Amino acid sequence: MASLPRRIIKETQRLVAEPVSGITALPDENNARYFHVKVVGPKESPYERGVFSLELFLPEEYPMSAPKVRFLTKIYHPNIDKLGRICLDILKDKWSPALQIRTVLLSIQALLSAPNPDDPLENDVAEAWKTNEAQAIATAKQWTCKYAMSE
């Protein structure tokens, strides 16, 4: 395995030693830049009790460029598209090298608590959220039951 930058090693060690509540992020055994992530749906959100799988990849330019993160579990959310891509400012134009993997994961967890239909990635879901929020939340709960909960 190619040598990893010290920062990635330190961040990985901290993620394992001091896990974030409701989030696990484990480096892949074959590629320490690739993480298998599980995020538990936040309480009092449509995603409550769901466990969502994500992948997180640290590009060569990290920390000068943002990690690449994608949902692997299907989710009904205005800021996450059918391919699992996430519309989150810190993953795009608001990225800063001062941010860390754990900051990104906490921000994704927060996005599950507070969807933002005014900055959508999935326009039809955002439209549903704006026109009939109760129905959109019900659909999000159904998808959570169907795709993010094991029997």
Of 23, 40, 80, 87, which residue is the catalytic one? 87
Q: Is 47 within 8 Å of 120 (Cβ atoms)?
A: no
Instruction: Quote the crossing angle between the two packed helices 6-17 and 101-113, to the nearest 10°.
Output: 50
Closest by CA to 36, choosing from 12, 59, 60, is 12
- Judge whether 145 counts as a catalytic residue: no
Name residue 146's amino acid: K
Q: Is 39 within 8 Å of 21 (Cβ atoms)?
A: no
Active site residues: 87
